[in-house]
Structure 1
Amino acid sequence: MRKILVSNDDGIDSEALVRLASLAKRFGEVWVVAPCRQFSSMSHAANFWEPMEVWPVDFPVEGVHAYATTGTPSDCVSFGITTAVPGRPDVVFCGINKGYNVASGIQYSATVGAALEAANQNVHAIAFSESHEGSHEVTDRYIESLAAELIDKPLGDNEIWNVNFPGCALDEFKGVRYGCTISQGTFFTGSYKEISRDGDRIKYRVELVPDWKGEEGSDLAAVIENCISVGKVMNFR
């Protein structure tokens, strides 16, 4: 039976993680290793210098072996591959991320970073993401068929599949676009707003503004136009 490791960057309590683990069960035996808290925008960060705590959790999907950790998403995948899953997993599913992983946002994504850690250890990996807001109808309708298609579909050395589902209703959905390139658009622009001050110490919060101008054939253009984006992301080695 196929062994599947599932992880994310939104934390062990994420509703979308439960959805992905439930999906994964249709393809094999499932292990979940996920951070104990939110770890979004941590990219491929890993903790090599401090001990990592790991503990079993009661997971709301029957038959799933589940663990929470104090590590980053990349740590979770590395631990899952080397330690938690007996004999290593055959495939790693990461997500379902709350928010698109497209364009320049990919470099910050810990969902993609975790999948790239799997690729770095020569394990087939797929990153799944959906709109932070809006409907999940397209995700729920098409994720199983896309997972079935991509779970064994060949990848180049150190590559992952990156799938993004638009947040539109099903009647607005325009189809699946394959071979999407990573948009060179900025996706978000940001500035810092002062929110409090204590003497010389000032607290700021970044304010992100969407800047969606995806070029034709890109991942960003696909989701803007209510399409599923399917493409590859390559790690650096």
Structure 2
Amino acid sequence: MKQILITNDDGYDAVGLKALIEALTPIAKITVVAPARNKSACGHSLTLDKPLRMVSVSDDFYKIDDGTPTDCIYISISNLFKEGYKPDLVISGINIGANMGEDITYSGTAAGAMEAVIHGIPSIAISQVCIDNCQSIKNGWDFELAKKTIYELALKILNSNFPLDERKFLNVNIPPIKASDCKGIKVTKAGFREYGNDTHRHLNPRGEEYYWIGLHPLIWKSSENKNCDFEAIKANYVSITPIMLDMTSYNDIKSIENWLTK
């Protein structure tokens, strides 16, 4: 039977993780290794300054105390699978909230997928876009479209092949609509996210200063062909963006060489 390793950045008890497990259990043997608490926006961080403890929650389900999604994948590959064996697929999610545009670089969800492809394992990051500060999720969102999408993608990969070369993964975002209202799937590029600054300064009871970073609205720069992830979601499509870990700006190599010689 095929094996899927699952992680997330919302924590081992997140509703999105439970929905992902439900969606994939019929098609593969599932192993879950997730952070013990919410690690949203932790990026591709690996814990090097303290020991990490893997705690069994139930059969083939573990949490890592204060671990990141990257820690979860890194540790589980060498400790939960027989030597020489790897899972057939890694899926990170279902994240609560969008991971589009430059937010991918912040995302612990995307980082779980990044770590997997570094180890040569096909991988998908999947996120559920939400509105109204995710109140619909808190009120019992059913994840119907997300579950249907990830089931079909995982089944296609397990039964045939992964469509990307090494060190590349699929970043999937699900619009906040019912499955029946979805117009289909669009393959997109990562959009140009426009950021503000939502930092709040406060004083604690001792008069000491602290800051709280808030949430930014999903605002983006329109692309010429309306083919970015933000625009697909706005139009009620599932967005699938192929992401590569090589961030080299190849078009600029020659110009930098010329600049250095001037």
TM > 0.5 between the two? yes
Q: Could you say what secondary structure the match of 2:102 adopts?
A: helix
Q: Which residue in 1 is equivalent to 2:259?
A: none
Q: Which has the larger radius of gyration?
A: 2
> Equivalent of 1:122, from 99, 120, 144?
120
Q: Could you say what secondary structure the match of 2:11 adopts?
A: coil
How far off its partner does 1:198 sit?
A: 5.2
How far off its partner does 1:231 sit?
A: 1.5
Q: Which residue in 1 is equivalent to 2:258?
A: none
1:68 equivalent to 2:63? Answer yes
How far off its partner does 1:200 sit?
A: 6.0
How far off its partner does 1:219 sit?
A: 0.9
How far off its partner does 1:199 sit?
A: 5.9
Give unpaired runs (5+ residues) of structure 1: 59-63
Structure number with the higher helix fraction is 2
Structure number with the higher strand fraction is 1
Asked if 2 retains the 8 angstrom alpha-carbon contact of 1:31 and 1:85, the reply is no
Letter in 1 for 2:211: Y
Q: Which residue in 2 is equivalent to 1:224?
A: 234
Q: TM-score scaled to structure 1, two decimals?
A: 0.89
How far off its partner does 1:137 sit?
A: 3.6
Q: Which residue in 2 is equivalent to 1:11?
A: 11
| Greater CA drift, 45-54 or 141-150 | 141-150
Q: TM-score scaled to structure 2, two decimals?
A: 0.81
Letter in 2 for 1:114: G
Asked if 2 retains the 8 angstrom alpha-carbon contact of 1:46 and 1:75, the reply is yes
Q: Which residue in 2 is equivalent to 1:111?
A: 109
Q: 1:190 to 1:150 in 2, by over 3 A?
A: farther
Q: Which residue in 1 is equivalent to 2:168?
A: 159
Letter in 2 for 1:174: K
Tell me, in whole angstroms, the C-alpha distance in 1 between the residues paired with 2:218 and 2:147: 27
- Give aligned pairs, total: 230
Superposed CA RMSD in Å reads 1.9
Q: Which residue in 2 is equivalent to 1:61?
A: none
- Give the % identical residues: 28
Tell me, in whole angstroms, the C-alpha distance in 2 between the residues paired with 1:113 and 1:142: 20
| Greater CA drift, 5-14 or 141-150 | 141-150
| Greater CA drift, 197-206 or 150-159 | 197-206
1:94 equivalent to 2:83? Answer no
How far off its partner does 1:89 sit?
A: 1.1
> Equivalent of 1:147, from 137, 141, 154?
154
Structure 1 ranges of 4+ moved more than 6 A: none
Q: Could you say what secondary structure the match of 1:190 adopts?
A: coil
How far off its partner does 1:75 sit?
A: 0.4
Q: Could you say what secondary structure the match of 1:57 adopts?
A: strand
Q: Could you say what secondary structure the match of 2:215 adopts?
A: strand
Tell me, in whole angstroms, the C-alpha distance in 1 between the residues paired with 2:157 and 2:193: 26
Asked if 1 retains the 8 angstrom alpha-carbon contact of 2:101 and 2:193, the reply is yes
